[in-house]
Amino acid sequence: MLIYLTILVLVGIFIFFLKVQEKENKKNIEKILRSLKEKKIYEKIPAELKEEYMATLHKIIKQDLELDNSIIELREYRKELEVTYNTLLEKSKKLEYSNQSLEAKVTSLSNINALSRTVLSIMDLDHIINIILDAYFVLTGAKKISLYLWENGKLTNKKTRGDVHFKGEISFPESVLKEFTYSDYKRVYEELKKEFKIKEDEIIIVSPLLIKEKEFGVIYIIEDKDRFTSNDEETISALGIQVAISINNAKMYADLRVKERISQELEVASRIQKKILPEKITDIFGLQVAKYFDPAKEVGGDYYDYSKIDDENFSITIADVSGKGVPAAFLMALGRSIMKTLEIQKLSPSATLKNLNKIIYPDITEDMFITMLHSNFNYKTKVLTYSNAGHNPLIVYRAKTDEIELHTTKGVAIGFLDSYNYKEGQVKLDKGDVVIYYTDGITETENHEKELFGIERLKKVIYDNKDKEPDQIKDVILDEINSFRKGYQQVDDLTFVIIKNTEDAMEI
């Protein structure tokens, strides 16, 4: 019994000890867990748990540090994401603005392109200007517009839109404008700009009109300051270019129309001029005749004529009006018509020139005159009577002596003096004699070296071809001139008449 009691007491003591130990272990476990949580070393760790405890603690501390680093990295990453987001947002806004600006530019360019196609199909300058000025109001914030163009050295106001009262002008001599640079034109436009009266809230834009350094004028555009944008500036610049192109095209078209009209009129005048020259004749009164006329321009100032006066006399005339082209042709036609009237009177060559000069002098300008050689051939006597008003001498080949001679008389050109008594000369033509009447377009023909064909070459051609008929001599002269010129441009009218006497004088 005692043994049982002892055993029972020992069991109770053991159980109590176990409970105390369990409680103590529980406290140790809590302290161990707390130390691990707080990441502090628990000094009373049992020896058998110490190694594993320390490894666990180090692992927790390491993981905690790694977690802290991850959190820091996440925070940094978040900041970077926020910066990236804000940047993208800003760029998105800018892109949206750029897209809007681009759309506006595309729309503006499309409108300008449509405008360009419209005005290019129109050639009336006033119509073009009206369309383009209207476009300024549609495509920009323009309130007022004033357009100026250069005309004959003067910068003149052509059109205005809006309440623009100032329409001043600026003019320069043409010789001064030729020396103008871009800076000079810009200075002129800026000076004119100062004359416009604008309000404080307005701005005036100067838009020069030029193409390849060719100045056409300037446009002044007045806008509200708060409405003026970079797009307006670009559109104004583009419209300025379009205005200049359109004006240039219209002026070129107008010039072309004028040139075409003048060309057509000159063509008609050329036909008329050639029509009034005498018909070709081959043989009259024993004379073989060849002629040639080629003006340097559509019409010329050279003139030749020959005609039968009566049953014994045949007149031959050659003349050269100073200058070339239309003015010379007009004076040539006037001189010819008067000569035709005077020939009816059957006057001597000198009297005919005197009367011609008397009639023409009052109506001729100081810078114009006519050189003329007028002659009369009597087929019975074979005497050629001539009078010279400042013209080239006759070149005569004498068959009997086989020589070339020059025959002339002194006399001033028609139109130099109010009254002048012309002299006469005579040469009797034997059978085989050749005479050439010519203008200085032959002797003054130039080549690329600026050499002149000259009278000596002409004399040689005649001498070398003395036995040929006039038409053949004519062809040789033209061949020699073309060979000498070698493609160099014709600078003067070419005119000549060749006669060859084929009969002896009649016995009286």
- Name the average pLDDT for the chain: 80
Who wins on pLDDT, 182 or 245? 182
Tokens of 373: 């050689």
Tokens representing 295 are 């003006």
At residue 392, the pLDDT reads 95
Which fold does the domain 122-257 belong to in CATH? Beta-Lactamase (3.30.450)
In angstroms, the CA 276 to CA 270 distance is: 10
Q: Above pLDDT 70, what percent of the chain?
A: 77
pLDDT grade for 470, boundaries at 50, 70 and 90: very high
- What is the identity of the amino acid at 66? E
Where b means 16+ CB within 10 Å and e means fewer, 389-416 reads bbbbbbbbbbbeeeebeebbbebbbbbb
**What is the helix (H) or strand (E) element at residue 207, kind and residue range?**
strand 202-211
DSSP for 43-67, written as a single string: TT--HHHHHHHHHHHHHHHHHHHHH
Instruction: Give the H/E segment covering residue 289.
Output: strand 287-294
The pair phi, psi for residue 75, each rounded to 5°, is -65, -45
Percentage of residues in the chain with pLDDT exceeding 90? Answer: 27
pLDDT at 178 over 80: yes
Q: What's the CA gap between 138 and 142, in Å, rounded?
A: 8
The answer to whether 421 and 374 have CB atoms below 8 angstroms apart is: no
Closest CA to 277 of 299, 308, 303: 303
- As a residue count, the chain comes to 508
In terms of Cα–Cα distance, which of 202, 237, 206 is closest to 219? 206
Residue 352 exposed, middle or buried by CB count within 10 Å (0-12, 13-18, 19+): buried
Domains 122-257 and 277-501 share a fold: no
Cα distance between residue 436 and residue 249, in whole Å: 51
pLDDT digits (tens, 9 = 90+) for 229-275: 777 777 777 777 777 777 777 777 777 777 666 566 556 555 655 55
The helix/strand/coil state of 425 is strand
Whole-number Å distance between alpha carbons of 126 and 445: 47
Q: Between 354 and 240, whose confidence is greater?
A: 354
Domain layout of the chain by residue ranges: 48-121, 122-257, 277-501
Report the pLDDT value the prediction gives residue 269, as an integer from 0 to 100.
52
Element (H, E) at 427: strand 425-428
pLDDT reported for residue 480: 94
> Which architecture, in CATH terms, is 277-501?
4-Layer Sandwich (3.60)
**Two tokens, residue 476:** 């040789």
Q: Of 38-47, 95-104, 122-131, 495-504, where does mean pLDDT reach its minimum? A: 95-104
Q: Residue range 201-220: average pLDDT?
A: 86
What band does 201 get if pLDDT is binned at 50, 70 and 90?
Answer: confident
